[in-house]
Amino acid sequence: MSHNAESTAFRSALEVIRAVEPRVADAIGAELADQRESLKLIASENYASPATLLAMGNWFSDKYAEGTVGRRFYAGCQNVDTVEALAAEHARELFGAAHAYAQPHSGIDANLVAFWAILADRVESPALKRAQVRQVNDLTEADWFALRRELGDQRMLGMSLDAGGHLTHGFRPNISGKMFDQRSYGTDPATGLIDYDRVAEAAREFKPLILVAGYSAYPRKVNFRIMREIADSVGATFMVDMAHFAGLVAGKVFTGDFDPVPHAHIVTTTTHKSLRGPRGGMVLCGPELADQVDRGCPMVLGGPLPHVMAAKAVALAEARRPDFADYARRIVDNAQALADGLLRRGATLVTGGTDNHLVLIDVSGYGLTGRQAEQALLDSGIVTNRNAVPQDPNGAWYTSGIRIGTPALTTRGLGAAEMDATAELIHTVLTQTTAGTGPDGAPSKAKYVLDPAVAEQVGKQAADLLTPFPLYPEVDLT
């Protein structure tokens, strides 16, 4: 039994929880065990540090704190002010931003804050003047409907979902697709890469209020300087969602034209994924949008989560350490090693490789849908997620792709040799899996056939691969 601080803290916490609801304590312990034993290749997941995790379990959870630092609607928020100010300070210094807003609960919330901040900032309307108000928040219901009529179409141009964009970039079932008259830009059918000339053409034709860049499944860099030039050419506000690659920006792997912060009017991000913090969101912007962004609560958000902001401050402080830059570089090195290993074994990759933290495999070459491949890999101890590929014939549910990423395994310490071994395991599973049939004998997009002996053997190899790289070695729950 380990007696270090981390082990004592988590063991004690589970004992306290077990005294009230043992099933919750058991589930927490089981989650740690499952994560320790599986090859986590989900591109949007990582492992937060013990310090970050512990910062979320405390008395800050008991506080309401609507408002912003120094301007709360509840008394007794002086300690919340401290942690929120620290989170914002670390974010500004880390990313070189003029302003940072640490309250959003998620990436979707951060995007909603950005959308409404942009709308409020861009409004110069007789409806506002008649109402003699300064902020959209202050409008009466009648004034708001009048304003909507005068604004007309609120247009957004963002990356399409099947090309690698995110559902919050105008996907119809999402609130962003309902707020805006939306159009998408895709990628070149031959290369899978963004064609900036086509984006510029779409912007000239559509004249969006907001041009959105950023992705959740695009395995290459984006030139944000060119995207800003396109936005400026049509008078659009340029917004970047860097949720997936924020860690690569923080670690100075993406610089110059590929760092969104100097080029965008407003930047949103999550604080987990490659940034390796708690689940949450954040907004970065210049002074011209700062006042509107700070009205995220109550404009869009409910009460801030002070315990999560405390964890954000801890994680952002960690990201400012010199070793984080080395970690960010190794994420990309590992992703490229994994891509190379798959290509050598005959896999088809969207864009033919990667510049960032993720790889997108087109599994149709194996005769599978993404859903079949995802489950077969999970049976074998390899955790991935299915994802659409450009012009995907199977749609967003079954898909034709598997998205894999390296932030989590890089946190554990795996390197290029282990990435090649991982490519071999993935290839073995996919080549040994065949599509199944439905009850009527027709081909199924969900059912599959994989010899349990193959799954068991690959699972054992995956576990052996992880053995030299223990997860949370400082935490002993026994």
Catalytic residues: 64, 66, 241, 270, 273, 279
One-letter amino acid at 365 equals G
Q: What SS3 state is found at 81?
A: helix
Q: Find, among 174, 158, 168, the residue nearest to 230 by Cα.
A: 158
- DSSP code per residue over 161-220: TTTT--GGGT-TTSHHHHHSEEEEE---TTT-S--HHHHHHHHHHH--SEEEEE-SS--S
Instruction: Report the candidate in 115, 63, 69 with the shortest Cα–Cα distance to residue 89.
Output: 69
442 contact partners, CB below 8 Å, separation of at least 6: none
Q: Which stretches of 385-461 are assigned E, i.e. beta strand?
A: 385-387, 401-405, 434-437, 443-449
> Read out DSSP for 220-289?
S---HHHHHHHHHHTTPEEEEE-TTTHHHHHTTSS-GGG-STTT-SEEEEESSGGG---S-EEEEE-HHH
Half-sphere exposure of 112 (CA within 13 A, CB side): 20
Helix-helix angle 22-37:452-466, to 10 degrees: 90
Token pair listed for 312 = 């954000």
Cα dihedral 62, 68, 69, 71, rounded to 10, equals -100
CB 429 within 8 A of CB 455: yes
Q: At what angle do helices 322-344 and 416-432 cross, to 10 degrees?
A: 40
- Could you tell me the CA-to-CA distances from 326 to 48, 233, 252, 330, 410 in Å, in that order? 17, 37, 9, 6, 11
How does 226-257 read in b/e, with b if 16+ C-beta sit within 10 Å? Answer: bbbebbeebebbbbbbbbbbbbbbbbebbeeb
Terminal-to-terminal C-alpha distance of the chain = 6
Nearest residue to 90 (alpha-carbon basis) of 82, 100, 103, 81: 100
Distance of CA 435 to the CA centre of its chain: 31
- Collapsing DSSP to helix, strand or coil, 58 comes out as coil
Residue written as token pair 């994680």 = 315
Helix (H, G, I), strand (E, B) or coil at 358: strand
Longest dimension (CA), the chain: 74
